[in-house]
Amino acid sequence: MKATTIAPSNIAFIKFFGKINEALRLPANNSISMCLSGALTTTTVEFSPLYKKDSIEILRDNFNEEEKRRIVEHLERIRKLAQITTFAKVVTKNSFPKSSGIASSASGFAALTLSAVKACRLNIPEKELTILTRLASGSSCRSIPDGFVEWKKSKTSENSYAYSLYSPTYWNICDVLVILEDKPKKVTTTDAHKLALTSPFYKERIMGMEEKIERLKQALKKKDFLSFGEIIETEALNMHAVMMTTNPPLFYWSEKTVKLILAIWEWRKKGLSVYFTIDAGPNVHLVCEEKNKKEVVSYLQSLNMGKIIVNKPSIGARLTNKHLF
């Protein structure tokens, strides 16, 4: 009863920020993302009567008590579904730093969900897998399907799921991620979502969402990179404006974040077609077409701000037989 999954992190072009139901992790708005080829979590889960309790290990890193509690809670959920009581051994590793605004909870819980489900010999279709993993970490549901993914909002759990809008090969765009800081963030996204409601601009943000999502979908359909870039950049700034005006304020950026944003705007003035987006952390994702990737990377290298990870659109969570133990 052992299974191993490789799951990608994902970058949200339209962000999930704010929930209508805390316990079920139901989002206030639909979100749209892309799975990242270079930011992966690999997780092996084994259930065995030989284990006297659940054990959880992350290679070359540590989980805090709260993170462990969330993982055990999710194992419980899956044990209940499979009607088993055996304990599990979980070993996991990331190809990028945990808790730094790269959605490690997304790839982490997507990998845990698929591995645990398979290790229990449950057969769960993709849509239901996205619902199951959403209960543990909202954005993780977008790391199950392939390529460009939409997560639907709903008042009910069974209708808030993620599905693939387009396959990874649909559009040759890149996400060049710069790791400006690799320390854990000060406020977790779970707490950040709760604070969203305290911003005077939050309602305004939600009201404009349907129209913004429609425009992004049109840009995706036409592969119109300029419109696409403008929408994702304004969307990221919109979410961070709401974050900065919560009570107390959520300020995820560092000095380097601001420096890089200003540099990107300068590069664009000079004719380089590159846009940015930022999740709940200081690190910046530069989005460009494949044909401009080399130039974007070399501009970035000249600033020497941090480790660079170049991502293509990727497939979602998948099983592998390369177990970690």
Stretch of residues binding ligand PMV (CB under 6 A), selected from 74-82, 121-129, 136-144, 230-238: 136-144
Please report how close the Cβ of residue 153 comes to ligand PMV at its closest, in angstroms: 12
Rounded to 5°, the CA angle 156-67-31 comes to 40
**Per rule CB under 6 A, is residue 71 in the interface with ligand PMV?**
no
Minimum distance between the CB of residue 140 and ligand PMV, rounded to whole angstroms?
A: 7
Q: What angle do CA 294, 296, 298 make, to 5 degrees?
A: 70
Tell me how far apart the 2 most distant CA atoms of the chain are, in Å.
Answer: 63
Residue 279 binds to ligand PMV (criterion: CB under 6 A): yes
Q: Which stretch binds ligand PMV (CB under 6 A): 9-17, 54-62, 203-211, 311-319?
A: 9-17
Task: Note whether 277 binds ligand PMV by CB under 6 A.
Answer: no
Q: Is 228 in the site for ligand PMV (CB under 6 A)?
A: no
> Are the C-beta atoms of 257 and 243 separated by less than 8 Å?
no
| Binds ligand PMV by CB under 6 A, chosen from 9, 139, 199, 246 | 139
Q: For ligand PMV, give the closer residue by CB, 119 or 280.
A: 280
Alpha helices, DSSP H, located in the chain = 65-82, 104-119, 126-134, 189-196, 202-207, 209-222, 225-244, 255-269, 293-303
Q: Does 21 bind ligand PMV (CB under 6 A)?
A: no
Cα distance between residue 232 and residue 199, in whole Å: 21
196 is an interface residue for ligand PMV by CB under 6 A: no
Q: Residues 34, 35, 131, 280: which binds ligand PMV (CB under 6 A)?
A: 280
Using CB under 6 A, pick the residue from 5, 8, 9, 17 that binds ligand PMV.
17
Segment contacting ligand PMV (CB under 6 A): 59-67, 124-132, 189-197, 284-292?
A: 189-197
Residues 105, 203: Cα–Cα separation, whole Å: 26
Q: Which stretch binds ligand PMV (CB under 6 A): 178-186, 187-195, 208-216, 315-323?
A: 187-195
Number of residues that bind ligand PMV (CB under 6 A): 15
Angle at 284 between CA 107 and CA 109, to 5 degrees: 10
Nearest to 15 by CA among 222, 281, 310: 281
Interface residue with ligand PMV, options 137, 160, 199, 246 (CB under 6 A): 137
Contact 162, 142 (CB under 8 A): yes
Tell me which residue of 136, 221, 114, 214 sits closest to 170, measured CA to CA.
221
Which listed residue (3, 12, 34, 132) binds ligand PMV by CB under 6 A?
Answer: 12
Query: Does 15 participate in binding ligand PMV (rule CB under 6 A)?
Result: yes
Q: Cα–Cα distance between 128 and 124 in angstroms, integer? A: 6
Minimum distance from residue 118 beta carbon to ligand PMV (Å): 23
Work out which of 18, 138, 168, 229 binds ligand PMV, going by CB under 6 A.
Answer: 138
User: Nearest Cα to 181, choosing from 66, 259, 243?
Assistant: 259
* Beta bridge pairs of residue 174: 288
**CA of 111: how far to CAs of 21, 86, 94, 116, 243, in Å?**
24, 20, 11, 8, 29
What is the pattern of x (binds ligand PMV, CB under 6 A) and - over residues 96-135?
-------x-x------------------------------
Query: Counting contacts by CB under 6 A, is residue 16 touching ligand PMV?
Result: yes
Pick out residues in 236-255 that bind ligand PMV (CB under 6 A): none
Site residues for ligand PMV per CB under 6 A: 12, 15-17, 31, 103, 105, 137-139, 189-190, 193, 279-280
